Amino acid sequence: MNPSESLFLQALPAFLLGARDTIIYCVSSFALALLFGLILALMNSSRFVWLKAPARIFIEVIRSTPILAQMFLLYYGVGAVLANVNLAYLDNAWVAGIATLSLNYAAYEAEVYRAGFLSVDRGQTEAALSLGLTSEQNFFRIVLPQAIPLMIPPFVNDFIYMLKDSAIVSVISGTELTSVLDYWSSRHGSNLFPLYLLAVGLYLIMSLPTSYVARFFERRLRAAL
Amino acid sequence: MQQALPSTEPKRRSWLVILDYLFYVALAAALAGFLYYIYTFRQEALLITPYLLAGAAATIAISAVSMVLATIFGFIGALGRLSRFTVLRAIAAIYVEVIRGTPILVQLFVWYFGLSLLLARLGFSPYAVAFQFMTVLQNNSLVPDTFNGIFYGIIGLSFNYGAYLTEVFRTGIESVDKGQSEAALSLGLTSSQALRRIILPQAIRITIPPFTNYFITLVQDSSLLATLSVLELEQQTYALAFPLINSNIKLFVFIFGALFYLAICYPLALLARYLEARMAVAY
């Protein structure tokens, strides 16, 4: 067995664990992002300025700053303040990483929700209201069921983006696929090719099937419309 | 222009509307509070602003150069994807899929730690080349120590964004009606003339809004060059904040650095929205 091959096999278990952690980061962050995003989208489409403006400001600020800056701010900035007020157990890469990813993506998901709600024909709402449904009933029974299929492809796309963006957790010493790559490549500096191949391959294995699923949903959606 | 119709929604006055007026008061208070928060750290702010401005200049310069290179990569990629030759199409497709399927951070590591090493073994070091070149011009002190990071960072960023722009340009070119190129070819234009004179001018119109959006994300992603120890805005912020002991000042430095990004990206976002609205209107 040549050294590249043996390093490949030697590193494989660690990289698989890293990939598992990447998925844990992404699944938990994305679930939170969907929740926060829905809240933001509902606030954003409200009639009341006091609900609308804070959501708008949050979305604009998040979308105009790099996710790395947000992560540094939360991990080093807020983390240091938390450590000062006896909340040091919240000052770790898991909390900061998931908080950053979910808050960042919430701003993007809010826009997806908004586009989804807007794409439901206004006549549907008018008909529901004139039939005597309350606006809550209209939203949950009429608008949401029609909007959800339209929102699935952009959600899947954003999930793939999150799979890739979660790599920056490695910068704040979180443990996931890129940090495993970092660790191994700093110890095997003369033989990097198999390590890069492993990391790139695992990311492709995670992201390519997901993008095919997204395309499949998109095609089915077009056929249904 | 369509006239604004009166809203069909029933006008319901609610006590919650009162909160709207209260909100403006609260918003003003919050803004004043935030300005006061910055004011309390005015000494630190004055101290770090020159460094952050230098970082912001580096960020803008790196982003601008990367965007120009990414446009070139994207244009070549789009021509490859639309090529008649299967090999070129396959190469372009692999380029797009692999780049879009892997994190930009990993790509930057591959460029900066992997390929740079490979090229160094072949005797190529961008720092040495730049240093020798500037020595000839008697200005070699202008070459920063982190030139390798800047060089491979810009290559990595533009190679990554080239893949996204490939798709943007491809959809732009494909969106031009096929009759246009058929008409051009039947009028005796060569295929390169048809591309240059007929198709591209129409395709560029459609590609401008996504192009601007990608420039905004490129500016944000250039913060990842901090991991290659390039002294751009995020690295400056981090380097200024990290040694601080007082956690309140530390938090302030990170917030202040993020405000610089906001000042760069938000006007660009407004520009992108304006362009999108303009392009939505027909010719």
Q: Which domain holds residue A207?
A: 3-224
- From chain B, the residues in CB contact with A81 under 8 A are 247-248, 251
Q: Give the A window 120-179 contacts with B, CB below 8 Å.
A: 126, 129, 160, 163-168, 170-171, 178
What's the CATH number where A195 sits?
A: 1.10.3720.10
The C-alpha R_g of chain B, in whole angstroms, comes to 25
Q: A175, A174, A173, A180: which is closest to A195 by C-alpha?
A: A180
pTM: 0.84
Confidence of residue A212 (pLDDT cuts 50, 70, 90): confident
How many other C-beta atoms are found inside a 10 Å radius of the C-beta of residue A126? 13
Using only C-alpha atoms, what is the Rg of chain A? 21
Rounded to 5 degrees, φ, ψ at B154 are: -65, -40
User: What is the Cα–Cα distance from B69 to B160, expressed in whole angstroms?
Assistant: 10
* Cβ partners under 8 Å of residue B108, min gap 6: B152, B153, B156, B157, B224, B225, B227, B228
Higher pLDDT, B16 or A74: A74
Please compute the mean of the pLDDT values over residues A137-145 and round it to a whole number: 84
> Which pLDDT belongs to residue B148?
86
pLDDT at B2: 46
Q: How is residue B154 written in tokens?
A: 């810009």
Does A68 sit within 8 Å of B226, measured CB to CB?
A: yes
Structure tokens given for B35:
């300005």
Q: Per the CB < 8 Å rule, is A200 touching B234?
A: no
Could you report the per-residue pLDDT of B86-144, keeping only the tens digit for each?
999 999 999 999 998 899 999 999 998 888 888 888 878 888 888 887 888 877 777 78
* pLDDT surpasses 60 at A64: yes
| Separation of alpha carbons A20 and A27, rounded Å | 11
Residue A10 has pLDDT above 80, yes or no: yes
**d(Cα A127, Cα B261) in Å, to the nearest integer?**
45
Counting every residue, how long is chain B? 283
B109: CB partners within 8 A, 6+ apart: A178, A181, A182, A185, A196, B227
Among B residues 9-48, those touching chain A with beta carbons less than 8 Å apart: 10, 16-17, 19-20, 22-24, 26-27
Which candidate from A65, A78, A164 shows the least CB-CB separation from B258? A65
Mean pLDDT by 10 residues, chain B (283 residues): 49 66 84 90 90 94 95 93 91 92 92 85 81 79 82 94 92 85 87 84 83 92 91 91 88 92 92 83 61
Whole-number pLDDT of residue B1: 40
Partner B contacted by A181 (CB < 8 A): yes
- For the stretch B48-54, contacts whose Cβ atoms lie closer than 8 Å and that sit 24 or more positions apart, written own/partner, are B48/B240, B48/B253, B48/B256, B51/B236, B51/B240, B52/B233, B52/B236, B52/B237, B52/B240, B52/B256, B52/B257, B52/B260, B53/B260, B54/B231, B54/B236
CA nearest to B19 within chain A: A50
Q: CB-CB: which of A50, A69, A207 is closest to B23?
A: A50
Using a CB–CB cutoff of 8 Å, tell me whether A210 touches chain B.
no
A16-20, A139-143, B3-7: least confident range: B3-7
Domains and CATH numbers, chain B: 48-280 (1.10.3720.10)
Distance CA B116, CA B152 (A): 8
Kindly state whether B254 is in contact with chain A, defined as any CB-CB distance less than 8 angstroms: yes
The two structure tokens encoding residue B226: 């901090």
Residue B223 is classified by DSSP as G
Return d(Cα B131, Cα A42) in angstroms, integer: 56
Q: Which residue has the higher pLDDT, B195 or A74?
A: A74
**Number of structural domains in chain A:** 1
Which residues does chain B have within 8 Å of residue A66's beta carbon, measured at their own beta carbons?
A: 219-221, 223, 234, 261
Structure tokens at A74: 């939360």
Confidence of residue A39 (pLDDT cuts 50, 70, 90): very high
Examine the pLDDT at A181 and tell me if it is beyond 50: yes
Q: pLDDT grade, residue A17 (50/70/90)?
A: very high
Report pLDDT for B66: 95
ipTM: 0.85
User: Would you state the pLDDT for residue A65?
Assistant: 92
Question: Nearest to residue B120, comparing CAs of B148, B96, B147?
Answer: B148
Are the CB atoms for B77 and B92 separated by under 8 Å?
yes
Mean pLDDT of A26-33: 94
The chain-wide mean pLDDT, for chain A, equals 87
CB contact under 8 Å between B117 and A192, yes or no, is yes
Q: Are A204 and B101 in contact (CB < 8 Å)? A: yes
